[in-house]
Structure 1
Amino acid sequence: MKKNKIIELLGETILPGESKTIDVEIAKLHTMTKLKVPVIIERSKIDGPTVLFSACLHGDEINGTEIVRQIIRKKINKPKIGTIICIPIINIFGFINQSREFPDKRDLNRVFPGSKNGSLASRFAHFLVSEIIPKVDYAVDFHAGGASRFNAPQIRIAPNSPELKELASVFNSPFTLYSKNISGSFRNSSTKLGVKMLLFEGGKSLDLNDMITEDGIQGSKRFLAHLDMLNPKLEAILKNEETLFIEKSNWVRANFSGMFHGLITVGSFVKKGDVLAMISDPYGKVEHKLKAPNDGYIINVNDAPIVYQGDAVFHISTKLESQS
């Protein structure tokens, strides 16, 4: 735990008990218009951990932005002890363009730790790793499914980390997937710098979903309560159901091209052979059944109306942690 009586962040000082919003300017638009990324900081008068809530690393994953927005709006980010940093929109360029990538067409989540003199995305990654992450002890980074694929609310953590497993249990989304850190990712670079990060996945790109938002908010409150940081005016709602830890999972792919008619809702448990979807031609002549290859939970569904043969359409668990 980093116990600095005075926090220096982005060239500014944040004293105990102080609230501050720092507008970070990384680059301008091609019109010379300034783009600023607000970093919202709340410090308690009592020393404690520093937690980061971040979203919109991919500019079209706006449900995470809504979760962090409500964390701020509901004053969940005003800690009992320690410091909470909120960045509702990391990829401001993609958010404006409703695009996953940066204007240089790079995926920000594949260029970490970045470079001070590299591409635009690389420079922003370097800023996060050099200026923000060294001040952080714990983090929750909010994401959503891409390409019309809707994720059930879930936490992703690296395997073989008892502390991350405990934090995932505390956050208590319906599912927790063991997922190795990907080279070039924000999570990978943060882990190397000693940050305990949970990656939240829920919903799909360019979409807001109340159920996903509520799961992210309530999980964040439980996360903060576990660290004894939750504002005493707020209550963390506990759930009776425990998160299901998924060791292995596979994508079910479309067996034909055509119009896609999904029959199973995300989060459902299916048995091997259950019909997950129908794929039809547009002319009323052909319908193909797509069946579950095994028993498991559906943790992602494709909402696209048209699919091509080989498209990933359902993500299904194949092994739970409790199974042998």
Structure 2
Amino acid sequence: MPRDSFAIGPVRVRAGAARDLELPITRLITGADVGLPVRILHGREEGPVVWVNAATHGDEVVGVEVIRRLLTSLSPKELRGTLIAVPVLNVLGVMTGERYLPDRRDLNRSFPGSARGSLASRIAHLMMTEVVAKCEVGIDLHTGSDRRTNLPQVRADLDDPRTHELAAAFGAPVMLHARIRDGSLRHAARERGATVLLYEGGEAWRFDEWAISAAVDGVRRVLAALGMVDPVEPAAEPGVECRQSGWVRARHTGFLHLDVQLGQRVGDGERLGSLSDSFGRTLRLVRADRTGIVIGRSEAPVVNGGDAVVHIADHGG
């Protein structure tokens, strides 16, 4: 018996087919319509319904390229289940070159949203009702914020066995047990019963190849673990499970010179770098406040006292 077609927005996608559409968001002052771009791959055979999204923040473009590469490698004729790809969730942020929406709201603090709320709330509601509500698993792709870069990592509720299983399957260098933020897509989707992985990797407004390839491989491993595609090679090394993390902050204003790289293991009190004045005189050393793995670092040349400069995940906590 052939598989039923898949309904989303105003269309139905037949089994073994792919379909692109735009879900209406708003209308610009010029009268032009703005829509949420979505591609559905509705496999011939039964299987899970999964979504993958990127650019929840308008400056986080690594995930856009991840989804592009992922889609070129998948065929609905060979897929088991259904994949909903949302490559640009914050359409207006990407169009204007901004992290947030034009009203300065953070889309990832606006879930589950409302059909009659702010622009951010309406986009969140559209994502929840048309995508998340149809899925059992989701992968939310992110990068570091402005002038920060992140080691490829999965953040998730590692105390949930199903989530832990899929996070391990992803195979990122680090999987971090991360608290859920109110208003986030991950929080709202979990409240609806979905299993959600949040990927972090790379820097804002950069196509960092190492972060892109790690995510493409990771998403394919998750799809394989779900039985949606044929088995793929596991990661060369299992991800290190970390239970907590924290940022080392600058204790002085100055020019930042970091000596540590992403993925490097450091010990409590170890030198991470230094702060200097404009003549090169060392003002203060930057030292680790815990033993762990460097999962994020500032790329800003000038920092103020109190700024976050190195993110360390503690796998012993």
Residue equivalent to 2:240: 244
Residue equivalent to 2:257: 261
Residue equivalent to 1:174: 173
1-structure distance, mates of 2:101, 2:248: 30
Q: Which sits farther off after the overlay, 151-160 or 72-81?
A: 72-81
Aligned counterpart for 1:288 among listed residues 273, 280, 284: 284
Q: 1:281 to 1:74 in 2, by over 3 A?
A: same
2-structure distance, mates of 1:63, 1:191: 24
Q: 1:92 to 1:311 in 2, by over 3 A?
A: same
Conserved 8 A contact 2:44-2:76: no
Query: Which SS does the other structure have where 2:59 is aligned?
Result: coil
Q: What is the TM-score when the length of structure 1 is the normalising length?
A: 0.93
- How many residue pairs match? The answer is 316
Paired AA for residue 83 in structure 1: T
Q: 1:236 to 1:94 in 2, by over 3 A?
A: same
Residue equivalent to 2:125: 126
2-structure distance, mates of 1:108, 1:239: 32
1-structure distance, mates of 2:152, 2:189: 22
1:301 equivalenced with 2:300 (yes/no) = no
Residue equivalent to 1:190: 189
Deviation of the 1:128 alpha carbon:
0.9
Deviation of the 1:159 alpha carbon:
4.0
2-structure distance, mates of 1:62, 1:77: 25
1:317 equivalenced with 2:310 (yes/no) = no
2-structure distance, mates of 1:77, 1:194: 25
Conserved 8 A contact 1:43-1:79: no
Please give the root-mean-square deviation of Cα atoms over the aligned residues, in Å.
1.7
2-structure distance, mates of 1:106, 1:82: 35
1:202 equivalenced with 2:201 (yes/no) = yes
2-structure distance, mates of 1:97, 1:157: 30
Deviation of the 1:78 alpha carbon:
6.5
Deviation of the 1:176 alpha carbon:
0.6
Conserved 8 A contact 2:254-2:283: no
Q: Which runs of structure 2 are paired with 1:57-136 in the superposition (5 Å)?
A: 57-75=56-74, 80-136=79-135
Query: Which SS does the other structure have where 1:21 is aligned?
Result: strand
Conserved 8 A contact 1:78-1:84: no
Deviation of the 1:79 alpha carbon:
5.0
Q: Equivalent pairs: percent with the same residue?
A: 33
Q: 1:237 to 1:76 in 2, by over 3 A?
A: farther
Paired AA for residue 289 in structure 2: P
Query: Which SS does the other structure have where 2:126 is aligned?
Result: helix
| Structure 2 spans left out of the alignment, 5+ residues | none
Query: Which SS does the other structure have where 1:164 is aligned?
Result: helix
Deviation of the 1:12 alpha carbon:
1.2
1:270 equivalenced with 2:266 (yes/no) = yes
Conserved 8 A contact 1:56-1:62: yes
Conserved 8 A contact 1:5-1:47: no
| Structure 1 spans left out of the alignment, 5+ residues | none
Cα distance per residue 1:74-117 (max 9 Å; x no partner): 33776521111111101010001121111111000101111111
Q: 1:181 to 1:294 in 2, by over 3 A?
A: closer
Query: Which SS does the other structure have where 1:117 is aligned?
Result: coil
2-structure distance, mates of 1:302, 1:76: 39
Conserved 8 A contact 2:101-2:120: yes
Paired AA for residue 246 in structure 2: N
1:140 equivalenced with 2:139 (yes/no) = yes
Paired AA for residue 123 in structure 1: R
Deviation of the 1:147 alpha carbon:
2.2
Cα distance per residue 1:6-45 (max 9 Å; x no partner): 3211121112112111112211222222223220011111
Residue equivalent to 2:32: 33
Paired AA for residue 87 in structure 2: P
Cα distance per residue 1:133-185 (max 9 Å; x no partner): 11111111100110211110000112420110010000010001111211111
1-structure distance, mates of 2:282, 2:270: 19
2-structure distance, mates of 1:188, 1:49: 20
